[in-house]
């Protein structure tokens, strides 16, 4: 319990430090006039998460299609054997 609290406290401190340095960087850019250029580039690119999630969605779609095709091929390969096995079990008379 103490370890978890310590990690959460450390994370909050790191988060605060990162935010502080980000704000300091933006403030220095405002003084030099580079803020508008940075904001224009940021708006054009969009949020980082949307770019990453788009790539992940595409990768997952490709992997899912490959798995579905593999399952279809396996089902087609063994379906005849399964039908024959079921017919043998159904038609065999056991005393």
Q: What is the pLDDT of residues 13-71, one digit of tens each?
A: 555 555 665 666 666 655 666 556 666 666 666 555 555 577 788 888 888 888 888 88
Domain limits of the chain? 1-46, 48-95
- Gyration radius of the chain's alpha carbons: 30
Q: What is the pLDDT of residue 29?
A: 59
Question: DSSP per residue over 41-85, as a string?
Answer: HHHHH--HHHHHHHHHHHHHHHHHHHHHHHHHHHHHHHHHHHHHH
Q: What is the pLDDT of residue 83?
A: 84
Q: Distance between CA 25 and CA 29 in Å, rounded?
A: 6
Is the confidence at residue 86, as pLDDT, over 80?
yes
Q: 3-17, 51-65, 70-84 — which is least confidently predicted?
A: 3-17
């Amino acid at each position: 319990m103490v370890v978890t609290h310590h990690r959460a406290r450390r994370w909050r401190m790191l988060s605060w430090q990162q935010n502080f340095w980000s704000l300091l960087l933006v403030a220095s850019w405002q003084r030099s006039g580079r803020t508008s250029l940075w904001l224009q580039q940021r708006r054009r690119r969009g949020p980082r998460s949307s770019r990453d999630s788009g790539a992940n969605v595409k990768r997952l779609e490709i992997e899912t299609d490959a798995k579905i095709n593999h399952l279809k091929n396996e089902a087609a390969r063994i379906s005849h054997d399964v039908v024959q096995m079921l017919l043998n079990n159904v038609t065999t008379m056991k005393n």
